Structure 1
Amino acid sequence: MAKHHYKVGQTVSGITKGYTSEGLGILYTEDNSRFFVKGLIDGEEAEAKITYVGQRSSYAKLTKLITKSDKRIQPKCPVSTACGGCQFQHIAYDEQLKIKRGIVENAFRTIAKSDHPVDECVASPMPYYYRNKMQIPLGLDKKGNIISGFYRARTHIIIPTPECVIENERSNGIIATIRALMKSMRIPPYDEDKRSGVIRHILIRTSYYTPGLMVVLITNADNFYSRNNFVKALTKAHPEITTVVQNVNKRKTSVILGKRFRTLYGPGFIEDDILGIRFKISPQSFFQINPLQTENLYKIAIEKAEINNSHTVLDAYCGIGTISLIAARHAKKVIGVEINSRAIRDARSNANRNNIDNVEFYTADASDFMENEAKLGSKYDVVIMDPPRKGSDEKFLNAVLTLEPKKVVYVSCNPGTLARDITLLNKKYEIKSITPVDMFSQTYHVETVVLIERK
């Protein structure tokens, strides 16, 4: 924390020592005050202007690098410092991996009070152009030109982005065509303040192992002028598009997708493979965004579980059944639980299309389901859990303690909530391994697989 005499607008200087959980450099001054600064690398000496002074944390904006780290590189993206999408493009990839391992280590040390060793972060085979899903807001610049890009961090200000270097390369050209068609057909982008205009966002999903490419038009209206002509022109310009879907969202909200979908072209979904299993992917399906690294992630999870053909496995927060169906190839039986009914319909469809019959899927809140299973005295050999970023809850974790599976494999995209939840399971379980996996290259986000076993 900063000493009381520092004020907003003041310039400070110091040495960078380590990182926050969000990848900000921690700048220490001569009096050992610390400021969180975007864009700094461990060991760099710098000057920064204070933007906020708080009791527990203070922030500053980098104004001058006095010494540069040999891990500092030129970002591939010209707007990476302004855009809120990437935080690490200025950092060499090997250093990114070290930072992510450190973020996980710090979470377990400070939250779980655990000094269990953390494995090296598993490198991604595709540090760039890896994302199979992009959500692009549209708007107007000051001259009235249609722009698309990503929001500046913690704002809804669009930073025009002609090419995103972490999105699938096929997506960038499609976005440019959509902007041109909107201009020629006089289809206005949505204005958040006025709540007027037509197209709010463009969502693009791409397949890696199949030719699938989905474009979702998120609109502020049920219909719009020249919609059919727009779709015809778009698919003619980009024959690689296999389906176009309209999503209607008229609400005043930052939530991107509305509840209503209409297929305008093609089947309304795409397909892709993970470890030889084919999955149906709808516009709203949860599907990991890094296709090759997803296979590494799930291999690690399944190997840690050591599932065999006598085991009954519970896959909580199962989504469209990705881990469930992979585990089913090794297990006697798999139960998948997910609160989203659309996802469960896709999961059952995925099981049928892959001729996997030793898996059952249930639409239920994972915590309620687990609590009921505990009351029934059900038996599971392995529990695999991959909750949302907010983590699990005490009801679910207490049910795990009651059910007492031999192993729990916890897959998480948030080291903080992961460490918190593991702490609640310490009564009966001990950590066997902690493995960070770089699913989100060029960002501070990190996926982690933790294996705990019954004591």
Structure 2
Amino acid sequence: MTKQKNREYKKSRKKPHHSKKQNSKQSSPQGNRKNEKSQGKPNTTDKHQRGKKRVTIEVTCSGLTSEGKGIIQWKGKQLEVANLLPGETAEVFVSKKGRFFNTELKRVINTSEDRANLPRLSYNEGVGCQIQHMNEQAQKRFKQNIIDELMKPFGKPEPIITMEHPYDYRNKNVMTFGMNKKRQIISGLYAENTHQIIPMERSIIHDPKADEIIQTIKGMMKSFKMQPYNEDNGRGFLRHVLVRVGKKSGEIMVVLVAASPMFKGKNNFVKALRKAHPEITTILLNVNKRNDSMVLGNQEKVLFGKGTITDTLCGLEFEISAKSFYQINPVQTEKLYTKAIEMAELTGEETVVDAYCGIGTIGLVASQQAGKVIGVELNKDAVRDAIRNSKRNGVKNARFYQGDAGEFMVQMAEHGEDVDVVFMDPPRSGSDEAFLSSLVKLKPKRVVYVSCNPETQARDLKYLVKYGYKVGEIQPVDMFPQTVHVESVAKLELK
């Protein structure tokens, strides 16, 4: 994962693993009419249909896309329906605007045994948790199929490592604030590919206390005359609330992301919030005046506490700031890191490079079994955090440098330095050719490639295989249950 970017809000293009993918919001090619299910007719008596250009059809789902959407056939077109499972018959709303089709699940007629039996929650089920309608075994198969298909050229992946309690795991929650049409304050997540806020009070993957704190803040806003920010006219104050929770330490950080540093009544607000939630250990005001999709701005002020929290990962203690990259699911991260370091085959003598090192998590964990660790990261704030965390844990054999990892490794190769192992954990977009070519020049004996996007990982593995490496073990890890995302770690050895 990238150490500079908030990856859970980044998406990449994916391919289907069950059948040919066709985005339901795009025009669809002619399908195989022999496989068509019910063509459906408009239900003119349905109150949802009146005055709207959409029809209700009855269909049977034939497969899944890599985004976990059900695939249906209708009038020779292949469409996608969220929250629908293979084999299920359902009523679906279909609407058309120009060449584009939109679908919405109305009701499931015949339910699959793979459907999860979850209580109805108080928000749109499709936001953030794309596959929460699948039970645990179905999610496991779905993600294993994705990995198996992508990694087929390199060997058979190991069975995916799942999570014992695949709920409440996120240690970082970000909610956006706005107004609905009734001029009521709402908080939630943006609908996919839009800036429309879908109200959310509780998510099955969020830390429950974090969700509770955000709802408390929403309830306090009216009495403190705090208006949510309106990005259309640039008026208002509160844009987002970010909550970080130390899963082991129990410490909680609250970040109020505002459009202006002028926070009238801030002392009374902090006092009231702490009275409602005495478990909060620090509160910050972050000012973001930008018009892009970044949540946090550069200006920051501590309103209460020390401005950071701490948490423990793989036996080491890490200090976490508002901007720090820290793995979202620490329970699964420990499993991932344990497997990655096992693949590195460290004996205590090796020189290890931790590329894209961020705040130094995997490098510092590896330092306990390596001779020397060199961490490289472009983000200077992350490097500062890595150095601080190194000192906090008394690590003497790790050094961290600010710079481009590819250029750094080229310089190491030119100076004839020997490297035994390189850990690489790039962003969702994967590594570029410049980095990969520098890796090939450095010629480490082993490369451990950690990825949050197996599609770009497979692309990069192909390059490394072409230039002298052999792929060994491939281990998928379910870092984000209830979502379509899956982590993968692969071991490569120099031939």
TM band (smaller chain): over 0.9
In structure 1, the partner of 2:189 is: 150
Aligned counterparts of 1:170 and 1:183: Cα–Cα separation in 2: 22
The percentage of counterpart residues that share the same residue type is 44
Q: CA deviation at 1:37?
A: 2.4
Answer with 72-81 or 262-271: which moved more.
Answer: 72-81
* TM-score, scaled to structure 1: 0.92
Describe the shift of the 1:133–1:141 C-alpha distance in structure 2 as closer, same or farther (beyond 3 A): same
| Structure 1 contact 151–159 (Cα < 8 Å) conserved | yes
Describe the shift of the 1:286–1:52 C-alpha distance in structure 2 as closer, same or farther (beyond 3 A): farther
Please list every run of 5 or more consecutive structure 2 residues that lacks an aligned counterpart in the other structure.
1-21, 23-27, 34-38, 40-52
In structure 1, the partner of 2:13 is: none
Work out whether 1:72 is the aligned partner of 2:115.
yes
Aligned counterparts of 1:148 and 1:58: Cα–Cα separation in 2: 29
Q: CA deviation at 1:14?
A: 5.3
Please list every run of 5 or more consecutive structure 1 residues that lacks an aligned counterpart in the other structure.
none
Of 59, 63, 70 in structure 2, the residue corresponding to residue 25 of structure 1 is 70
Answer with 170-179 or 196-205: which moved more.
Answer: 170-179
- Report 1:178-327 matches (<5 A): 178-327=217-366
Deviations 1:62-84 (A, max 9, x none): 34534321011234452564542
Deviations 1:41-96 (A, max 9, x none): 233344545567999x9874434534321011234452564542111111101111
Deviations 1:417-446 (A, max 9, x none): 111111111121121122111111111011
In structure 2, the partner of 1:37 is: 81
* TM-score, scaled to structure 2: 0.85
Q: CA deviation at 1:236?
A: 2.0
Of 401, 409, 426 in structure 1, the residue corresponding to residue 448 of structure 2 is 409
Describe the shift of the 1:378–1:42 C-alpha distance in structure 2 as closer, same or farther (beyond 3 A): farther
In structure 1, the partner of 2:407 is: 368
Work out whether 1:125 is the aligned partner of 2:158.
no
In structure 1, the partner of 2:484 is: 444
Q: CA deviation at 1:108?
A: 3.0
Deviations 1:372-396 (A, max 9, x none): 2233332211111111111111011
Indicate the RMSD between aligned Cα atoms, in angstroms: 2.5
Which amino acid in the other structure matches residue 327 of structure 1?
A: A
Of 97, 104, 108 in structure 1, the residue corresponding to residue 140 of structure 2 is 97
Indicate the SS of the match to 2:209: helix
Aligned counterparts of 1:182 and 1:30: Cα–Cα separation in 2: 50
Deviations 1:136-161 (A, max 9, x none): 10111222222112222222222222
Q: CA deviation at 1:242?
A: 0.6
Indicate the SS of the match to 1:426: helix
Aligned counterparts of 1:64 and 1:236: Cα–Cα separation in 2: 44
Aligned counterparts of 1:163 and 1:372: Cα–Cα separation in 2: 49
In structure 2, the partner of 1:454 is: 494
Q: CA deviation at 1:292?
A: 1.1
Which amino acid in the other structure matches residue 37 of structure 1?
A: V
Indicate the SS of the match to 2:354: strand
Deviations 1:141-197 (A, max 9, x none): 222222112222222222222222211111122112211221111011111111111
In structure 1, the partner of 2:180 is: 141
Q: CA deviation at 1:349?
A: 0.6
Which amino acid in the other structure matches residue 102 of structure 1?
A: N
Work out whether 1:434 is the aligned partner of 2:478.
no
Work out whether 1:400 is the aligned partner of 2:444.
no
Answer with 282-291 or 138-147: which moved more.
Answer: 138-147
In structure 2, the partner of 1:337 is: 376
Which amino acid in the other structure matches residue 72 of structure 1?
A: R
Deviations 1:253-283 (A, max 9, x none): 2211111111111111000001110001010
Indicate the SS of the match to 1:184: coil
| Structure 1 contact 125–292 (Cα < 8 Å) conserved | no
Q: CA deviation at 1:10?
A: 7.0
Aligned counterparts of 2:164 and 2:102: Cα–Cα separation in 1: 34
